[in-house]
Amino acid sequence: MGGRARDVISCRQSCPDNELSGPPATRIEPEAYRIHHMSQEWPNRERREKWEITNTLEYLSHHPGFNSLSVQIKSERPDYVVLNGGRKIGVELTSVYLSDKSVPDCHMEGNLSMFGPSQFKRNKYFLRVIKTIKEKVGKAREGYTLYENMILSVYINEYEDIFNSKEDWQEWAKANDQVLDDISPFTHILLWPLVNDISMMITPNKAGP
């Protein structure tokens, strides 16, 4: 392996650049978050994947080396083939919840006691994310169609993450360096959306672009 995996924080155009090195992000109040999301009907798989790939390409476009992105085809292994300035890249989608019950029960019930600023829950969620990455890497090594660049897009879809800062995620990446530097056949991991609408791109040292 080539040493510690590189991680890059980026954000959408609506997020000022100076927020990337500024003070800890303002937290979203759970009650406001619940009002916005709880009343929505839980989408089917087709709608979820369409929404996830659209947002993946949006976040991806703010990282160096990714531009003029468009879906070429919907596939299976990986989920999508995307054109990146005319070059094909593979994109695999996944989302991570705190527990199987929160898919979608906790997210639709409106029970605020299910989430909050709990260090135990936050640590548990960080473990779930790394577990999911390991599982996806293992499956991809069993027979995915490979492209020069392979993106594992991880939708950080859990209420507890609104209490995590970008520094928390950078510490998580540092603590899991050995795992994140050995993600072949994936060349990049995209974590989104983090607090303040930012995303994190994790790239092993030998990967590109």
- Residue 37's pLDDT is 44
Q: What is the pLDDT of residues 56-77, one digit of tens each?
A: 999 999 999 998 999 999 999 9
What would the DSSP string read from start to end of 191-204?
Answer: EEEEGGGEEEEEE-
Strands 188-194 and 149-156, sheet pairing: parallel
Is 179 exposed, middle or buried, given 0-12, 13-18 or 19+ CB atoms closer than 10 A?
Answer: middle
| pLDDT tens per residue across span 66-124 | 989 999 999 999 999 999 998 999 999 999 988 765 455 555 555 544 555 688 888 99
**pLDDT tens per residue, range 34-58:** 334 444 565 678 888 999 999 999 9
Spell out the residues 6+ positions from residue 109 whose beta carbon is closer than 8 angstroms to its own. Answer: 38
DSSP code at position 209? -
Q: What are phi and psi of 154, to 5 degrees?
A: -110, 110
What was the pLDDT predicted at 39? 44
Lowest-confidence pick of 5-9, 73-77, 135-139, 202-206: 5-9
Please state the φ and ψ torsions of residue 91, each to the nearest 5 degrees. -130, 125
Cβ-contact 183, 141 below 8 angstroms: no
Per-residue pLDDT tens over the stretch 161-180 = 888 999 999 999 999 999 99
Asked if pLDDT for residue 19 goes beyond 70, the answer is no
Q: Where are the domains of the chain?
A: 6-18+28-203
**pLDDT band with cut points at 50, 70 and 90 for residue 195:** confident
Percent of residues, the chain, with pLDDT higher than 90:
55
Q: What is the largest CA-CA distance in the chain?
A: 48
Return phi, psi of residue 173, to 5°.
Answer: -65, -40
Whether pLDDT at 24 is above 60: no
Q: Is 45 exposed, middle or buried (0-12, 13-18, 19+ CB in 10 A)?
A: exposed
* Sign, CA torsion 41/47/49/51: negative
